[in-house]
Amino acid sequence: MRMSKLYMPTLREAPSEAEIPSHQLLVRGGMIRKLVSGIYSYLPLGYRVIRKIENIVREEMDNAGSQELLMSAIQPKELWEASGRWGNYGPEMFKLKDRHMREFCLGPTHEEYFTFVIRDEIKSYKQLPLNLYQIQTKYRDEKRPRFGLIRAREFIMKDAYSFDRDIEGMKKSYKQMWEAYDKIFTRLKIKYKVVEGDSGAMGGNQSHEFMAMSEVGESLVAYCNNCDYAATDEKAKVVYHVEKTDEEMKEIEKVYTPDVTTIDDLVEFFNIDDNKFGKALVYKVSGEPVIAIIPGNRELNETKLCNYLKVPEHELELADEETIKKITGADKGFTGPIGLKENVKILVDSRITQMKNIVVGGNETNYHLINVNYGRDFTGEVVEDLLLIAEGDICPKCGKSILLDRGIEVGNIFQLGTKYSESLKATYLDESGKEKPIVMGSYGVGVSRTMAAIVEQYHDENGIIWPLVVAPYHVIITIINVKNQEQRELGEKLYDQLTKRGLEVLLDDRNERAGVKFNDRDLIGIPIRITVGKRANENVVEYSLRKDGRNENILAEDVMSKIE
């Protein structure tokens, strides 16, 4: 490709909303352009990268025995009503109506649709297992689209679905997909961790997330360096030791606490450890108040709370002051679950039940209660674990200390079980002629998000450093001065030779200053570089790699052997 003809609108400055390197560099490098918030076009260079990622995904899915097909992005409301997700999926779903006022959505995912597609065709155990996939555009009206391709409202996903006779079969399919994902992300040169995930809106049991490690990642990964334990912070099981004291139980006391607003103030005021405080959080869940009580020095995990209550996360909100006043009757400060004026659902993290003589109270200059004990002074539904994991927690597998790092979720695999086959009536007849629901799994790769994750892991201050396998072109030949005939002829000759040998080559034949060409070359991150300059008359060119930039003078005829 001649760069004099290439549509590659590079920019000197990134748009001000681009907060992270991948967003800045993909826009500046002329690879993507925004249409509206969270919706992007892939320009020629960027689209080549997308296609390369897609092809690696495709090859490994095909190798694993999955078959590619393509479905519509538009899905009728009825399918989603059957699974119960039309109302449950929440405001992320783009909904639309046709001219007859029939309702549809732009598919955020395709579990229902795939189940529908196979249900009338699969009748016998002989047709199972089956694994199908597509690479297609998904739509999610994200609350906060940001970070360019990482959290978009329209994005490219590879989604696959497995159909098995029984749980054992599903587990086998799951393992095959896991192995295919390992191959995909290894070939893509992504540094990643596989972590236990939360099944959330998909339903079902086990799930694993493939996390590209990056400081800009929106997910926290809890892992252990001593063993192979790794989980998302939402899933990670918190093991937390509370020292039990032999102190005698005292009556509850009310204590006036001047100028006490934070946990640190409280620690100082009461002169006790910060794990002696209980924290009460008041939520509204589908409009109803719920109080969650957890150790004061920890954070509540809202996903776990929603899973426990079996409600989607968008139905959970922190209660406003008015609600708090109404249920507690407190005009000044809130003393947790003690002395409630109304019957309110109270969920108690199990660790609270082991703590003796805790301090409870509002985060305000007000009064607190001391010597509060679960069982005697308040009760509630005890929940095994409501906490977010924190660094230093104990690894549930080996007992050593947990570490936390950030990751970008690039893939997610789920054991769905029979949630969709039961609700959408996808059954088969087993060997004894008995009707059974098909057992399913689903498997997603964020293709466009992966492109951004690669840039996060491979860039420097001058631009992108594409790994060869996904680079839009393998080689860039820069002609320093296109008005010089010797330089031009040698550049053209090399361009022909390399192209004929099957390499993907860019020829910078633009009538631009060398500085402009070098900057663009760094920015768009082509891995192998050949510079044709002053020494063209001696048949000598410069050879360098984007990743280290070291220049070497070589003879033009040695270029091919150098590349190989």
Query: Would you tell me which residues interact with Mg ion (CB under 5 A)?
Result: 409, 412
Whether the CB-CB separation of 309 and 290 falls below 8 Å is answered with: yes
CB of 342 to ligand ATP, least distance (A): 35
| Strand ranges across the sheet with 103-106 | 74-76, 103-106, 94-97
Between 410 and 479, name the residue whose CB sits nearer to ligand ATP: 410
Q: Could you tell me which residues come within 8 angstroms of residue 558 by beta carbon, excluding any fewer than 6 positions away?
A: none
Q: How far is CA 8 from CA 29, 230, 456, 507, 519, in A?
A: 7, 41, 21, 13, 13
Please report how many Cα atoms fall inside a 13 Å half-sphere around the Cα of residue 218, on the Cβ side: 11
Give residue number: closest CB to ligand ATP. Answer: 446
The reply to whether 444 sits near ligand ATP by the rule CB under 6 A is yes
The reply to whether 439 sits near ligand ATP by the rule CB under 6 A is no
The amino acid that residue 29 corresponds to is G
Q: Which residues of 170-182 are buried (b: 16+ CB within 10 A; e: fewer)?
A: beebbebbbebbe
Whether the ω angle into residue 129 lies within 30 degrees of 0, i.e. cis, is: yes
How far is C-alpha 19 from the geometric centre of its chain's CA atoms?
Answer: 17
The reply to whether 231 sits near ligand ATP by the rule CB under 6 A is no
Q: Which does 509 bind (CB under 5 to 8 A by kind): Mg ion, ligand ATP, none?
A: none
Residues 360-399: x where in contact with ligand ATP by CB under 6 A, - otherwise, as a string: ----------------------------------------
Pairwise CA distance, residues 157 & 412, whole Å: 11
The reply to whether 204 sits near ligand ATP by the rule CB under 6 A is no
Query: In a 10 Å sphere around its CB, with 0-12 CB exposed, 13-18 middle and 19+ buried, how is residue 386 labelled?
Result: buried
Q: How many beta carbons lie within 10 A of that of residue 19, not counting itself?
A: 12
Between 233 and 409, name the residue whose CB sits nearer to Mg ion: 409
Between 199 and 328, name the residue whose CB sits nearer to ligand ATP: 199
Q: Helices then strands (H, E): number in the chain?
A: 15, 31
Between 109 and 328, name the residue whose CB sits nearer to ligand ATP: 109
Between 267 and 410, name the residue whose CB sits nearer to ligand ATP: 410
CA quadruple 365, 366, 369, 374: dihedral sign: negative
# binding residues, ligand ATP (CB under 6 A): 15
The reply to whether 412 sits near ligand ATP by the rule CB under 6 A is yes
| Residue corresponding to tokens 């400081």 | 215
Between 77 and 146, name the residue whose CB sits nearer to ligand ATP: 146
The reply to whether 23 sits near ligand ATP by the rule CB under 6 A is no
- Token pair belonging to 380: 């509630």
Q: What is the dihedral of CA 312, 315, 320, 325, to 10 degrees?
A: -80
The reply to whether 449 sits near ligand ATP by the rule CB under 6 A is yes
CB of 249 to Mg ion, least distance (A): 44
The reply to whether 109 sits near ligand ATP by the rule CB under 6 A is yes
- Candidate list 129, 204, 289, 411; residue touching ligand ATP; CB under 6 A: 411
Q: Rounded to the nearest 5°, which phi and psi values hold at 528?
A: -115, 130
Between 152 and 280, name the residue whose CB sits nearer to ligand ATP: 152
Q: Which does 446 bind (CB under 5 to 8 A by kind): Mg ion, ligand ATP, none?
A: ligand ATP
Between 154 and 377, name the residue whose CB sits nearer to ligand ATP: 154
Q: Which does 474 bind (CB under 5 to 8 A by kind): ligand ATP, Mg ion, none?
A: none
Q: Which does 411 bind (CB under 5 to 8 A by kind): ligand ATP, Mg ion, none?
A: ligand ATP
Contact region for ligand ATP (CB under 6 A) — 316-324, 337-345, 424-432, 445-453?
445-453
Give residue number: closest CB to Mg ion. Answer: 412
Contact region for ligand ATP (CB under 6 A) — 311-319, 405-413, 501-509, 551-559?
405-413
Between 205 and 401, name the residue whose CB sits nearer to ligand ATP: 205
For 61-77, give the DSSP string.
HHHTT-EE----SEEEH
CB of 140 to ligand ATP, least distance (A): 5
Whether the CB-CB separation of 219 and 409 falls below 8 Å is answered with: yes
The amino acid that residue 238 corresponds to is V
Between 207 and 371, name the residue whose CB sits nearer to ligand ATP: 207
The reply to whether 454 sits near ligand ATP by the rule CB under 6 A is no
Whether the CB-CB separation of 284 and 292 falls below 8 Å is answered with: no
Whether the CB-CB separation of 327 and 342 falls below 8 Å is answered with: yes
Contacts to ligand ATP by CB under 6 A: 109, 140, 142, 151-152, 155, 157, 409-412, 444, 446, 448-449
